[in-house]
């Protein structure tokens, strides 16, 4: 397997830079997500990887092979990549096996080799018994797996996925997340997955490229993005939490409980540091708060099954989110202990 390298790739549409100087080094066999809001450039980046769009500047390499630059463009069919789209794009008049084998027929592969490769691809997505059915006889999740098998049958070096779960209902999406993870483990394929859904990206990817307005904002593992986001925007886009202005802390550093509590009591003009506090790091004392506690008022709460999501208001008007195992009362005064935080850089 070969790695995929993106070196300062830019794509202009007129005067607009849809992707702006993006660089990534994707390891062989890695599952990578391009994550960001609509219009951030993630699908444009995927289309440049596939060869459907030419790059304006920069280079794309697969291993030691240059695929794209401002002066070179390898066509999609010569890149040894396969793509799965939002729509399944299956032929309704063909059986599942014929849909999967279609790329092999285009390459003039016939006979026993054709049959073997189709059967292997269907087995990889657990659809062997469905080979003779038509797409109309399958569920949405099964159709998506047929599309996966079709892209796998040619043994691509890279599998590109453009929001493949967007058309499925919530229950089926959760099921397909497990299916994609299992698919990746079994094939070892390098996968680049575009989504605007942080939960999908966090559940599936080895590393995530967070994009905003065409630029790469942070490139890290899901755990790092959650625990150590770089900027306030990333902190608000990934997970839940509260961003507090403190008279303590520093960008890119862990902020201990004592420092947090002292920093909140600093005079307002000294509160120049932005610190992220996740809800699980806010401990609520539901009984009458003591003089040592930080105090807050319960504004509202939402039952999430295993816990309540509690929205609080500090005396100076700052909002804070916490989790609590039991219901509280709207307007109730509670004591708080903030156990840790993370210092954020300024957004650029």
C-alpha 334/C-alpha 145 separation (Å) is 50
Question: How many CA atoms, within 13 angstroms, populate the side-chain half-sphere of residue 111?
Answer: 3
Class of domain 4-231: alpha beta
Domain boundaries, the chain: 4-231, 233-343
| Residue 348 confidence (pLDDT) above 60 | yes
Average of per-residue pLDDT across 246-267: 89
Is residue 43 within 8 Å of residue 162, measured between CB atoms?
yes
The rounded mean pLDDT for the chain is 90
| Residue 214 confidence (pLDDT) above 70 | yes
334 three-class SS: strand
Of the listed ranges 30-34, 47-51, 106-110, 323-327, the least confidently predicted one is 106-110
Burial label, 225 (beta-carbon count in 10 A; 0-12, 13-18, 19+): buried
Q: Which two tokens stand for residue 133?
A: 């059915």
The fold of 233-343 is: OB fold (Dihydrolipoamide Acetyltransferase, E2P) (2.40.50)
**Sheet harboring 190-195: ordered strands across?**
81-84, 158-162, 190-195, 31-35, 207-212, 215-220
| Residue 204 confidence (pLDDT) above 80 | yes
Sequence-separated (6 or more) residues with CB below 8 Å from residue 301: 308, 309, 310, 311, 324, 327, 328, 330
- Residue-wise pLDDT for 8-48, tens only, equals 999 999 999 999 999 999 999 999 999 999 999 999 999 99
Helices (H), the chain: 42-50, 96-106, 111-124, 140-152, 170-187, 198-204, 222-227, 232-237, 257-264
**Other beta carbons within 10 Å of 42:** 28
Angle at 312 between CA 307 and CA 315, to 5 degrees: 155
- Residue-wise pLDDT for 40-66, tens only, equals 999 999 999 999 999 999 999 999 999
Angle at 180 between CA 178 and CA 182, to 5 degrees: 70
**pTM (two decimals):** 0.86
pLDDT (0 to 100) of residue 39: 92
Is residue 298 within 8 Å of residue 312, measured between CB atoms?
yes
79 three-class SS: coil
| Residue 292 confidence (pLDDT) above 80 | no
- Residue-wise pLDDT for 229-248, tens only, equals 999 999 999 999 999 999 88
Average of per-residue pLDDT across 254-264: 90
């Amino acid at each position: 397997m070969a790695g995929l390298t993106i070196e300062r790739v830019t794509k202009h549409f007129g005067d607009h830079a849809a992707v702006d100087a993006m660089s990534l080094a994707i390891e062989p066999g890695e599952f990578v997500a391009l994550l960001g809001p609509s219009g951030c450039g993630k699908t444009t980046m995927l289309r440049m990887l596939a060869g459907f769009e030419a790059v304006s500047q920069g280079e794309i390499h697969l291993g030691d092979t240059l695929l794209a630059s401002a002066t070179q463009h390898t066509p999609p069919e010569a890149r040894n990549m396969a793509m799965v789209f939002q729509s399944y794009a299956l032929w309704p008049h063909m059986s599942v096996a014929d849909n999967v084998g279609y790329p092999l027929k285009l390459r003039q592969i016939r006979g026993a080799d054709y049959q073997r490769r189709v059967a292997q691809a269907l087995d990889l997505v657990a659809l062997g018994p469905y080979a003779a059915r038509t797409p109309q006889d399958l569920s949405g999740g099964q159709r998506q797996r047929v599309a996966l098998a079709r892209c796998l049958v040619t043994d691509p070096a890279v599998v590109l996925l453009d929001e493949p779960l967007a058309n499925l209902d919530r229950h089926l999406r959760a099921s397909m997340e497990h299916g994609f993870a299992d698919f990746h483990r079994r094939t070892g394929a390098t996968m680049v997955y575009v989504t605007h859904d942080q939960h999908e990206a966090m559940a599936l990817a080895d590393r995530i490229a967070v994009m905003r307005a065409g630029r790469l904002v942070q490139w890290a593992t899901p755990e790092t993005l959650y625990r150590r986001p770089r900027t306030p925007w990333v902190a608000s886009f990934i997970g839940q939490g509260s961003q507090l202005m403190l008279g303590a802390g520093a960008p890119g550093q862990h902020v201990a409980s004592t420092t947090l509590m002292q920093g909140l009591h600093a005079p307002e003009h000294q509160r120049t540091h932005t610190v992220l506090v996740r809800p699980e790091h806010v401990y609520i004392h539901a009984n009458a708060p003591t003089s040592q506690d930080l105090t807050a008022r319960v504004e509202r709460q939402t039952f999430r099954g295993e816990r309540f999501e509690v929205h609080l208001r500090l005396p100076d008007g700052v909002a804070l989110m916490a989790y609590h195992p039991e219901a509280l009362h709207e307007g109730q005064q509670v004591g708080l202990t903030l156990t840790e935080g993370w210092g954020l850089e300024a957004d650029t």
